[in-house]
Structure 1
Amino acid sequence: MRKDIHPDNYRLVAFKDMSNDDVFITKSTAETRETMEVDGVEYPLVKLEISRTSHPFYTGKSKLIDTAGRIDKFKNKYKKFDKKEGKKEASKEEK
């Protein structure tokens, strides 16, 4: 094996799924400024929006997560391309 190819900051890190507050600890080199105490031990903390405990593929449940109104922003942005809405707006403009 080649020497000196692995990072030096490989350590235990706590990953927290913010959608269901699940925490798991694994080794990582992820940079973080926050820490979290788990069972009396302080770990660097990485916050996740989705993990294996909340992802629909692994849970078998179809769950819609609206993070910071992204779905509403998408709908508003592309509402003008909706055929039904487009016809209504066009008829209003003609009047």
Structure 2
Amino acid sequence: MKTAIHPVSRPVVFRDRAAGFALLTRSTLDSRRTVEWEDGNTYPVVDVEISSASHPFYTGTSRVVDTAGRVERFERRYGGAARH
């Protein structure tokens, strides 16, 4: 194998702030922000919007979507006369 062509893999903390969940794993991502982990060491931290702790598929919860407003807007726009 060629040397010095592969990215450096290091321990990184991925944090889902919405769910209050953090995971320490190895990654090639790097960040200037750091966090002190449970073992007392400091690691780079990457904030993510969604993780297994907050994703509806894994949690079994769903988010409320305003479908009534969308239907009313569609009927105003197209008149609701599309029925044959």
**Considering the TM-score relative to the shorter chain, is it more than 0.5?**
yes
User: Which structure: greater helix fraction?
Assistant: 1
Q: Deviations over 1:28-53 (max 9, x none)?
A: 11121100001211010000110011
Instruction: State the SS of the aligned residue for 1:83.
Output: helix
In structure 2, give the amino acid aligned to 1:36.
Answer: V
Q: Report 1 or 2 for greater relative contact order, CA contacts < 8 Å, sequence distance ≥ 6.
A: 2
Count the aligned residue pairs. Answer: 72
Kindly indicate whether the alpha-carbon contact (under 8 Å) linking 2:15 and 2:48 is maintained by their aligned counterparts in 1. Answer: yes
2:75 maps to what in 1? Answer: 84
Q: Deviations over 1:10-38 (max 9, x none)?
A: 10001100111101000011121100001
State the alpha-carbon separation in 2 of the partners of residues 60 and 83 from structure 1: 30
In structure 2, give the amino acid aligned to 1:60.
Answer: G
In structure 2, give the amino acid aligned to 1:51.
Answer: S
Does residue 54 of structure 2 align to residue 54 of structure 1? yes
1:31 maps to what in 2? Answer: 30
Query: Percent of pairs identical after alignment?
Result: 41
State the alpha-carbon separation in 2 of the partners of residues 63 and 84 from structure 1: 24
**Structure 1: 5+ residue stretches without partners:** 65-74, 88-95
- TM-score normalised by structure 2 residue count: 0.69
**Structure 2: 5+ residue stretches without partners:** 79-84
- TM-score normalised by structure 1 residue count: 0.62
1:17 maps to what in 2? Answer: 16
